[in-house]
Amino acid sequence: MAENMVYFEVEIQSLTEIRSRAIWPGSVGPWIDGGLEELMMNFTYAAWTAQSLGCAMSLLLASPEESLGQNVSDLMTKLIQSMGALQLAEIRLSRDALDELRRTRLEP
């Protein structure tokens, strides 16, 4: 894990089955299960944590359905842009791809 980085991981099965968690230097948040509402609340917490710690934030999103993952990714992108944040995206949408991303993650 890179210092000065908050990682926000999201696993999407459907709009009502979403798991997410935030990881930052020295701590790992619990997996939060729920729907879009819980995802947005947990994302807001992760963003606040990143801002409070003076860290950048990395979003990892995985979904077995490309269109569902893309729709949630678009929603997250709009939220990030509305916060005035800079965004760099790398999208891989399968569980195997998420495991690969964890092994080959690009660091800023």
CATH number at residue 63: 3.30.420
Instruction: Tell me the two tokens of residue 93.
Output: 């949408």
pLDDT at 108: 46
Q: In a 3-state reduction of DSSP, which class is residue 57?
A: strand
In which residue ranges of the chain is pLDDT below 50? 108
**The two three-digit tokens of residue 54, written as one number:** 């003076």
CA distance 44 to 54: 15
Closest-CA residue to 99 (of 60, 70, 58)? 60
pTM tops 0.85: no
Q: pLDDT at position 100, please?
A: 75
Taking the alpha carbons of 90, 93, 46, 103 in that order, is the dihedral positive or negative? negative
Find the domain containing 9 and state its range.
5-104
